[in-house]
Structure 1
């Protein structure tokens, strides 16, 4: 991948902080729906299956916005991360659109093979976030906070996979709410860090530039 071509890297770079903040908002709704389901008989699906993938879609857009500032300093890490995030974009988009159709009553319940798309989401979330976290941590010690924050969504997702595989999708009671809220806070922290703090993904400033 290069910084030129059909992908609007400059636009993604400018919007990366906002994309993470918007993703946090969607995950806040996701967590709230699970919270309501924990204390009432209201079923959270398929609504949570729209807000969750849509939140990841925006998070992947935010990850891709990190690519232009990293590719010249850590090319292999940033290119691999961009590929993983791109795979996640495909999975998140298809999943969110299909589930939205079901929520709106336009389509029926998706077939069994549809669950395989979760593998595309997993590629974007776990190796995608981890690879970008490593790339950021390798650039500059000033970006350590951002790099560590980028580890959190992947780690929370792995915890959720272990929980679901061992205890079930809704056990223990309130776990989906807590983990969803944790994702919202992590993504919000990443977005605010990118919006308000200088990071190693920002172009380096030369002494000559500083004098001007």
Structure 2
């Protein structure tokens, strides 16, 4: 067995745990946003959100080996997106911890560099989730529920981005509504990640559990 194969199998085994821990981290993130919305007191939610997305990208990379043989090109694109997003969210996590320590301002306040990292991480994450979800649905390796659930995080993330853009450019929503919307959407993100981890854990042998569709290289 090659080193690459060994690493792939290791990631595959840890994928459910990565998603479950990511979900738990995002639950805390949503709870702290709710605390802020209720009290108007600042909370360190950013030290829980980015690590959750980083772990989720690790979990996505663990799904790659099962898809690589059946939809190689789509799987590679998804894995590349997950890898880029993982590096980005790790950097965002480091900056969030540095900000919490009072050493530097928030990443988005640093300038174009900070905004570029956040944008690239978000776009790469959406690409990784959509690619993995579509690949799972096309191959039938995982249950249809899991394939559809993999499309939930990017959908929620896109809603958050559109809402933030409308608020910033046109002021369509009040600050209070934006705050509570962030709580609800972040809670949905958390539940989606927990659900993905739960389904992956219960699909101990996905390839053998479901009769796959005919191979369709992408």
TM-score band by shorter chain is 0.7 to 0.9
User: Is the CA contact 1:87–1:123 (under 8 Å) kept in the aligned structure 2?
Assistant: no
Distance 1:145 1:48 in 2: 30
Q: 1:65 offset after TM fit, Å?
A: 0.2
- Does 1:13 pair with 2:8? no
Instruction: Tell me whether 118-127 or 180-189 shows the greater mean CA deviation.
Output: 118-127
What does residue 210 of structure 1 align with?
Answer: none
Structure 2 unmatched ranges of 5 or more:
169-174, 212-218
Uncovered stretches (5+) of structure 1, i.e. residues with no partner: 206-212
Give the count of matched residue pairs. Answer: 201
| 8 Å contact kept, 2:33–2:179 | no
Give 1:196 deviation, angstroms. Answer: 1.1
Q: Is the 8 A contact 1:77 1:135 kept in 2?
A: yes
CA-based RMSD of the aligned residues comes to: 2.3
Q: Please name the residue that 1:52 is paired with.
A: 49
Contact 2:18 2:56 in 1 (8 A): yes
Show the counterpart of 1:190. 196
Shift of the 7–58 alpha-carbon distance from structure 1 to 2, 3 Å rule, reads farther
Report the secondary structure of 1:105's partner residue: coil
Q: Residue 87 of structure 1 contacts residue 121 of structure 1 at CA under 8 Å; is this kept in 2?
A: yes
**Which residue of the partner structure matches residue 94 of structure 1?**
91
Report 1:112-131 matches (<5 A).
112-113=111-112, 114-131=114-131
Note if 1:179 corresponds to 2:185.
Answer: yes
Q: In the alignment, is the contact (CA less than 8 A) between 2:54 and 2:90 conserved in 1? A: yes
Give the 3 Å change call, closer, same or farther, for CA 202–149 of structure 1 in structure 2. Answer: farther
Taking structure 2 as the reference length, what is the TM-score of the superposition?
Answer: 0.84
TM-score normalised by structure 1 residue count? 0.86
Number of the residue aligned with 2:216: none
Shift of 1:6: 9.2
